[in-house]
């Protein structure tokens, strides 16, 4: 039972100090005191606090070494089997921010809102800030149960709702950028010329065309092996397909349109992977080509958008389009859909014959 002690203050008033001591094996394992102006307040606090301390593991939790948000981020990155490059980069950036040095039990919603304000002041858009907070929320969600780090997920949820109401975070803009045939002609010619000058360079002309006709992401393209190809049934096994709830082991068979299968058949079987190249190299080569050719705001990932939209323009139904793209729902598939015409604009496209020769 806590003890209440009355003491005269310098200003003549009386303060009531509630002191709680816990022992284990005759050794003091926890000591805590708090002073109030009224005795009944001291008694009430002591009763409430003793109830808290009597909960299983409460004393051990209080005596454990303090953990910081940076510690939680390190644990998250170490324990996650697979994590996207962007998410890892964002979390490492957060680790360098002042909020990461705060101890777990001290972080409140206002600290998270203040962190978001710092990101906005640094020139980041609400969509980007929203991604930062979303990735950080994943750490808060798992910290207490997985690593005993006492981050309060409820505080994170309060911060997210507040930031959304204040319009300091927002969902990512949905892109509708698709390449024109003129732009693709320029890109293809650029990479064909590069291949002629440097035969050992990656066949970007084939990779770009395959991305369009197969609708595959660049990470998926670089992982496909010859063993994943079912040539007879014109399909491939996409391993670890991106999915918000399943990062590892989400292997999905998808249909290969004839143009995509033709490109695969044109690749040499010298190694296990069909496209044995790095994603960073592919992205960098595509970006440099667009800069050199003066093509604005076009990304490699837009080739997937182009491929999905093409399938709808050709008259494919949602299920038949999803059988190629691998999407599980219309809500996710429609983000890649921007129908601009009817029919297949790639009928008679001369580059397919050139790159598959």
Average pLDDT over residues 292-316: 93
Q: Is 266:236 a contact under the CB 8 Å cutoff? A: no
- In order, the DSSP letters of 265-302 are HTS--SSSBSS---HHHHHHHHHHHHHHHT--S--TTH
Burial of 191 (0-12, 13-18, 19+ CB in 10 A): buried
Query: 247 falls in which pLDDT band (50, 70, 90)?
Result: low
pLDDT of residue 101: 95
Per the listing, tokens 């709808």 go with 312
pLDDT of residue 249: 59
**Which of 310, 217, 293, 218 has the alpha carbon at shortest distance from 259?**
310
Query: Which CATH code of 1.10.150, 1.10.260, 1.25.40, 1.10.3470 fits the domain covering 69-165?
Result: 1.10.150
Overall residue count recorded for the chain in this entry: 357
Higher-scoring residue by pLDDT: 230, 245: 230
Buried-state track 33-68, b at ≥16 Cβ within 10 A, e below 16: eeebeeeeebeebbeeeeeeeeeeeeeeeeeeeebb
**Whole-prediction pTM value?**
0.63
Q: How far is Cα 139 from Cα 73, in angstroms, rounded to an integer?
A: 6
pLDDT of residue 29: 85
pLDDT of residue 56: 85
Average pLDDT over residues 105-120: 95
Residue 200: strand, helix, or coil? coil
**Which of 110, 129, 122, 113 has the alpha carbon at shortest distance from 163?**
113
**Which of 300, 338, 337, 341 has the alpha carbon at shortest distance from 211?**
300
The CATH superfamily label for domain 181-355 reads: Intergrase catalytic core (1.10.443.10)
Q: What percent of the chain has pLDDT over 90?
A: 69
User: Contacts for 8-15 with beta carbons within 8 Å, 24 or more apart?
Assistant: 13/37
Contacts of 167 (CB under 8 A, 6+ apart): 126
User: Contacts for 295-298 with beta carbons within 8 Å, 24 or more apart?
Assistant: 295/179, 295/183, 295/186, 295/187, 297/177, 298/177, 298/179, 298/183
Structure tokens at 30: 């926890």
DSSP-H helix ranges across 9-108: 39-53, 58-63, 69-79, 85-95
Per the listing, tokens 């964002």 go with 90
Contacts of 128 (CB under 8 A, 6+ apart): 119
Whether 74 shows a pLDDT value over 80: the answer reads: yes
Question: What are the residue ranges spanned by the domains of the chain?
Answer: 3-63, 69-165, 181-355
pLDDT of residue 60: 72
Per the listing, tokens 């300091």 go with 168
Per the listing, tokens 């003491």 go with 7
Q: How far is Cα 123 from Cα 290, in angstroms, rounded to an integer?
A: 25
Q: Is 2:18 a contact under the CB 8 Å cutoff? A: yes
**Residue 218 vs residues 135, 256, 289, 298, 301: alpha-carbon distances, Å:** 22, 16, 16, 15, 7
**Of 91-95, 109-113, 192-196, 240-244, where does mean pLDDT reach its minimum?**
240-244
Measured in whole angstroms, the distance separating CA 169 from the mean position of its chain's CA atoms is: 15
Whether 266 shows a pLDDT value over 70: the answer reads: yes
Q: Is 104:72 a contact under the CB 8 Å cutoff? A: yes
Q: Is 179:304 a contact under the CB 8 Å cutoff? A: no
**Of 116-130, 295-309, 319-333, where does mean pLDDT reach its minimum?**
319-333
Q: How far is Cα 184 from Cα 190, in angstroms, rounded to an integer?
A: 10
pLDDT of residue 57: 77
pLDDT of residue 197: 94
Structure tokens at 110: 């206002």
Whether 346 shows a pLDDT value over 70: the answer reads: yes
**pLDDT tens digit sequence for 149-191:** 989 999 999 999 999 999 999 887 677 889 999 999 999 999 9
Structure tokens at 217: 């992401």
pLDDT of residue 148: 87
The chain-wide mean pLDDT, for the chain, equals: 90
**Ramachandran assignment for 315, one of left (phi > 0), alpha (psi -120 to 50 degrees), beta (any other):** left
């Amino acid at each position: 039972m806590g003890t209440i002690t009355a003491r005269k203050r310098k200003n003549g008033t009386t303060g009531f100090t509630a002191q709680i001591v816990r022992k284990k094996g005759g050794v003091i394992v926890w000591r805590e005191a708090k002073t109030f102006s009224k005795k009944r307040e001291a008694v009430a606090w002591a009763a409430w606090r003793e109830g808290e301390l009597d909960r299983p593991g409460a004393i051990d939790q209080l005596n454990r070494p303090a953990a910081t948000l940076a510690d939680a981020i390190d644990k998250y990155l170490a324990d996650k089997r697979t994590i996207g490059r962007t998410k890892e980069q964002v979390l490492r950036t957060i680790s360098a921010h002042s909020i990461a040095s705060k101890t777990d039990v001290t972080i409140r919603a206002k600290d998270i809102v203040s962190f978001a304000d710092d990101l906005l002041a640094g020139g980041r858009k609400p969509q980007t800030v929203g991604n930062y907070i979303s990735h950080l929320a994943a750490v808060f969600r798992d910290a207490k149960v997985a690593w005993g780090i006492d981050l309060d997920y409820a505080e994170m949820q309060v911060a997210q709702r507040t930031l959304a109401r204040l319009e300091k975070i927002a969902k990512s803009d949905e892109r509708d950028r698709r390449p024109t045939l003129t732009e693709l002609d320029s890109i293809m010619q650029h990479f064909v010329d590069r291949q002629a000058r440097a035969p050992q360079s990656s066949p970007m002309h084939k990779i770009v065309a395959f991305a369009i006709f197969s609708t595959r992401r660049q990470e998926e393209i670089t992982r496909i092996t010859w063993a994943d190809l079912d040539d007879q049934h014109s399909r491939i096994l996409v391993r670890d397909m991106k999915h918000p709830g399943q990062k590892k082991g989400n292997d999905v068979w998808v249909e290969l349109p004839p143009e995509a299968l033709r490109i695969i058949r044109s690749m040499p079987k010298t190694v296990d992977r069909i496209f044995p190249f790095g994603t960073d190299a592919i992205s960098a080569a595509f970006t440099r080509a667009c800069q050199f050719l003066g093509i604005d705001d076009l990304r490699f990932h837009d080739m997937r958008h182009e491929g999905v939209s093409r399938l709808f323009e050709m008259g494919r139904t949602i299920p038949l389009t999803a059988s190629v793209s691998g999407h599980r729902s219309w809500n996710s598939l429609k983000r890649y859909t921007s129908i601009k015409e009817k029919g297949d604009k790639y009928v008679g496209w001369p580059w397919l014959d050139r790159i598959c020769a």
